[in-house]
């Protein structure tokens, strides 16, 4: 287990380094930041001054190394637009995205895992059909459209929920449903498929032959094996929900990091974009690492060599 953990950890570090290189290079390709910062009326000498001031004239690898060194110390630079440290900006915006991401993945898991299990227990029953229908609709319907429909329904026709802002928990209800529903089909189908496969396996027959109670067979012997692939999928989905909530945050005017990223791209606010991409990538890496550990805990074939 220790060797496995160390291996996974080093893999995570390598991925993080790769991500930082890619993040940095992408920004180098996306236009001259000095021109963007100086504004449209700036003279050539102004641009040159800004270029020197922010170090854009130095070789690329030097710029990268100093950026990494500072990032490691928690200094992600100054926002060109807000003129405040990026870290402060993130401290304000990230919690909103985190709350949305956590509640959306919770919503998705609470909805899809039990439904997937029930569907697998009674394949081709009305419940299975219902679950299938729910996931087909979820897969086919664009999130933004569902968001708009929810706003029409719960914000306009029956005004019970606030439509915009991020001041109270009620602001998060509709975004959570929209974002969580997006992840539901995949998790539910994988749970159902995994459960069906496991329920037909020889060791479930053994468990029945031992006369074990139904719930012991289902929860102890079947579910644990069925959810192993679901853990990895949910981790990826969760990462996606943290970073990919740009559209949802924009629609509901939730001032989260996704929304900030979208704004900053338009403003060519390089340090902010870099920081957000980096932070979200690190989230992904940490989540993958954690899901690997969770899988190892669930599956002794990974844990015990």
Partner 1 sequence: MSAVLEITGLKVDIPVSAGDLHAVRGIDLSVGKGETLCIVGESGCGKSLTSLSIMGLLPSRARVSADMMNFTGRPLLSMSETELSDIRGDRMAMIFQEPMTSLNPSYSIGNQLMEPLIRHRNASKDEARKRAIYLLEKVGITAAESRLNQFPHQLSGGLRQRVMIAMALMCDPELIIADEPTTALDVTIQAQILHLLAELRREFNSALILITHDLGVVARVADKVAVMYAGRIVETGRVEEVFNNPLHPYTQGLINCIPIPGKTARGSRLGSIPGIVPTLIGETQGCSFRNRCAYAGPACEIDDPVVELAPGRSYRCVLPEDQLKRQGDETIGKTGSLEAASA
By the rule CB under 8 A, 7 interacts with partner 1: no
Q: Which stretch binds partner 1 (CB under 8 A): 29-37, 88-96, 250-258, 293-301?
A: 293-301
Q: Decide if residue 207 touches partner 1 (CB under 8 A).
A: yes
With CB under 8 A as the rule, give the number of residues binding partner 1: 23
Q: What own/partner pairs with CB < 8 Å and gap ≥ 24 does 99-103 have?
A: 99/172, 100/172, 100/175, 100/176, 100/179, 100/241, 100/245, 100/248, 100/249, 100/254, 100/256, 101/179, 101/238, 101/241, 101/242, 101/245, 103/172, 103/176, 103/180
Residue 298 touches partner 1, criterion: CB under 8 A = yes
With CB under 8 A as the contact rule, the residue among 59, 74, 211, 266 that binds partner 1 is: 211
Q: Does 295 bind partner 1 (CB under 8 A)?
A: no
Contact status: 203 vs partner 1 (CB under 8 A): yes
Instruction: Tell me the Ramachandran region of residue 256: left when phi exceeds 0, alpha when psi lies from -120 to 50, beta otherwise.
Output: beta
Asked if 224 is part of the footprint of partner 1 (rule: CB under 8 A), the reply reads yes
Q: Please say whether the beta carbons of 70 and 76 come within 8 A.
A: yes
Residue 52 touches partner 1, criterion: CB under 8 A? no
Neighbours of 273 (CB within 10 A): 23
Told to check if 122 binds partner 1 by CB under 8 A, we report no
Report if residue 106 touches partner 1, rule: CB under 8 A: no
- Per CB under 8 A, the list member of 201, 232, 250, 295 interacting with partner 1 is 201
CA atoms of 138 and 136, how far apart (whole Å): 5
211 close to 229: Cβ distance less than 8 angstroms? no
CB 18 to partner 1: min, Å: 33
User: Min. distance of Cβ 198 from partner 1 in angstroms?
Assistant: 9
Q: Which is nearer to partner 1, 212 or 236 (CB)?
A: 212
Please give the DSSP secondary-structure letter assigned to residue 254.
-
Closest CA to 50 of 65, 61, 39: 39
- Residue numbers of the site for partner 1 (CB under 8 A)? 201-203, 205-214, 216, 220-221, 224-225, 298-301, 304
């Amino acid at each position: 287990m220790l060797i496995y953990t160390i291996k996974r950890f080093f893999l995570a570090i390598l991925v993080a380094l790769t991500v930082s290189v890619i993040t940095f290079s992408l920004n180098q390709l996306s236009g001259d930041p000095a021109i963007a910062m100086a504004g449209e009326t700036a003279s050539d000498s102004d641009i040159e001054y800004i270029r020197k001031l922010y170090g854009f004239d130095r070789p690329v690898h030097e710029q990268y190394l100093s950026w990494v060194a500072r990032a490691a110390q928690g200094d992600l630079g100054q926002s060109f637009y807000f003129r405040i440290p990026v870290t402060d900006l993130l401290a304000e915006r990230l919690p909103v995205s985190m709350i949305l991401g956590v509640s959306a993945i919770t919503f998705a898991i609470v909805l899809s895992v039990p439904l997937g299990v029930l569907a697998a227990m009674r394949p081709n029953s009305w419940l299975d059909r219902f679950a299938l229908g729910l996931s087909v609709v979820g897969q086919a319907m664009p999130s933004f459209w569902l968001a708009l429909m929810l706003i029409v329904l719960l914000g306009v026709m029956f005004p019970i929920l606030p439509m915009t802002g991020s001041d109270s928990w009620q602001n998060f209800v509709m975004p959570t449903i929209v974002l969580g529903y997006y992840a539901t089909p995949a998790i539910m189908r994988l749970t159902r498929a995994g459960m069906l496969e496991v329920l037909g396996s020889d060791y479930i027959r053994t468990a029945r032959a031992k006369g074990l109670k139904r719930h012991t067979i289902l929860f102890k012997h079947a579910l644990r094996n069925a959810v192993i692939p679901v853990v990895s999928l949910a981790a990826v989905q969760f990462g996606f929900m943290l970073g990919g909530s740009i559209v949802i945050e924009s629609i509901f005017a939730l001032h989260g990091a996704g929304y900030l990223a979208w704004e900053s791209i338009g403003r060519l606010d390089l340090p902010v974009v870099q920081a957000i991409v980096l932070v979200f990538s690190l989230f992904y890496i940490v989540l993958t690492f954690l899901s690997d550990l969770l899988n190892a805990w669930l599956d002794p074939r990974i844990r015990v060599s």
